[in-house]
A and B are shown apart, each in its own frame.
Chain A
């Protein structure tokens, strides 16, 4: 098992980050979309937002750790891509980091702007940093809009990966699934 990324592919850590976070992002988005429409007497009216907040904080932590991991790893070779493709991929990857950071931060502000902490599965809680009544609605607006944008970006990112796989017959999608060849 190769832990770190190499010039030919991604190690197990990066691949786990990628797929677990992909699942988490889609699940947290779907949960958020569903929970805001729940009626007051729904059994999940309170527990769904609790789960959404808890998963969101864990996602934010994963995002920061993954960014750190990225910094201390080499990038696999992408010379098979055109200049435009490389630029697009780079923009999309950075877009994910910026968007996810903004989404988790704004979500944190929605829940903590009255001074309350965010509880994470009853294991630990993140205290409030800024108390501002005025900020809550703005944070909510940003949170919603950017969530739609990140999902749109995920669709674009997936479409590009599928295009490389099926149209270009490239190994770019495969190498995010299975590790680099053991030497």
Chain B
């Protein structure tokens, strides 16, 4: 199934569980936390440092007949940023960076999903952070999906995108190699 196309995979899953062939709504598995939003940024151009957002939520829908009609929505509690360093996290929450007191939420809402034949998709949407909304493209890939051992149905995706810090008014100069932060979203959705 993983080798088949995205659409075929979804169809396959649908047939296997006799689901109606229509859009299904999925919620991120926040309860069991099979989802993460991690980021990576270069330090001095010498190494990668990574961190994550610990608290976020989201939903996506899937139309097995028309996968391009899929939709994704993500809400991130920006203050939940963690880089495994308390003083740095405090600095990241401050007005120098995310200004989480003024802008506690970051959101992503897809506007279009374009499937390519190999289980991959380009998800275009509006990403809002620090009061700035920018159109971004997430390169997404279906990792797997189907029944879980506990009577539910799950679909999992992995997506990557990149953000230029200055676009979101984070002007604190970190050096030329640290202008862009790379985000990875790994989410497993449980069918509602």
Binding site for B on A (CB under 8 A): 39-41, 49, 110-116, 133, 136-137, 140
- Give every chain A residue within 8 A of B93 (Cβ-Cβ): 137
**Which residue of chain B has the shortest Cβ distance to A40 in the bound complex?**
B174
Name the interface residues of B82-100: CB closer than 8 Å to any CB of A: 82, 84-87, 89-90, 93
In the complex, are the beta carbons of A136 and B173 less than 8 A apart? no
Question: Is the pair A140, B86 in contact by a Cβ cutoff of 8 Å?
Answer: no
Within the complex, which residue of A39, A115, A116, A140 is in contact with B90, where a contact is CB–CB below 8 Å?
A140
B173 touches A114 (CB 8 A): no
CB under 8 Å from chain A, chain B span 64-109: 82, 84-87, 89-90, 93
Are A110 and B87 in touch, CB under 8 angstroms?
yes
Interface size on B, residues (CB 8 A): 12
Contact B173 A41 (CB under 8 A): yes
**A116 touching B175, Cβ below 8 Å:** no
CB distance from A179 to the nearest CB of B (A): 43
Q: List 7 A-B contacts (CB under 8 A).
A: A40-B172, A41-B175, A110-B86, A110-B87, A110-B90, A113-B86, A116-B86
- CB distance A114 to B172 under 8 Å? no
Which of A111, A114, A136, A140 lies at the interface centre, i.e. has the most chain B CB atoms within 10 A of its CB?
A114
**Chain A contacts for B90, CB-based, 8 A:** 110, 136-137, 140
**Given A41-B175, A112-B86, A136-B86, 11 other A-B contacts at CB below 8 A?**
A39-B173, A40-B173, A110-B90, A111-B86, A114-B85, A114-B86, A114-B89, A115-B86, A133-B82, A136-B87, A136-B89
With CB as the reference atom, state the residue of chain B lying closest to A49. Answer: B87
Interchain CB contact under 8 A, A40 and B86: no
Q: Which residues of A contact B82 (CB under 8 A)?
A: 133
Q: How far is the CA of A107 from the CA of B151 in the complex (A)?
A: 51
Distance A39 CA – B173 CA, assembled complex (angstroms) = 7
Find chain B residues with CB under 8 A from A136 CB. Answer: 86-87, 89-90
Shortest A61–chain B CB gap in Å is 22
- A39–B178 Cα distance when bound, in Å, is 14
B101 to chain A, nearest CB (A): 8
The smallest beta-carbon distance between A82 and chain B, in angstroms, is 45
Find out whether the CB atom of B89 lies under 8 angstroms from the CB atom of A40.
no
Shortest distance from the beta carbon of A16 to any chain B beta carbon, whole Å: 33
Closest 7 pairs (CB-CB, A-B)? A114-B86, A136-B90, A113-B86, A40-B174, A136-B86, A140-B90, A39-B173
Query: Which of B82, B86, B93, B174 is packed against the most chain A CB atoms within 10 Å?
Result: B86
CB distance from B100 to the nearest CB of A (A): 9
The digit string for B137-166, where 1 denotes a CB below 8 A from any CB of A, is 000000000000000000000000000000
CA gap between A110 and B173 in the complex, in Å: 23
Give every chain A residue within 8 A of B86 (Cβ-Cβ).
Answer: 110-116, 133, 136
How many whole Å from A57's CB to the nearest CB in chain B?
15
Q: Which of B160-190 contact A (CB under 8 A)?
A: 172-175
Residue among B82, B87, B93, B173 with most chain A CB within 10 A: B87
- Bound-state Cα–Cα, A136 to B88, Å: 11
Name A111's closest neighbour in chain B (CB-CB).
B87
A113 to B82, CA, bound (A): 13
| Contact partners of B175 in chain A: CB under 8 A | 40-41
A133 contacts B89, CB within 8 Å?
yes
Query: Could you say which residues of chain B place their CB within 8 Å of the CB of A133?
Result: 82, 86, 89
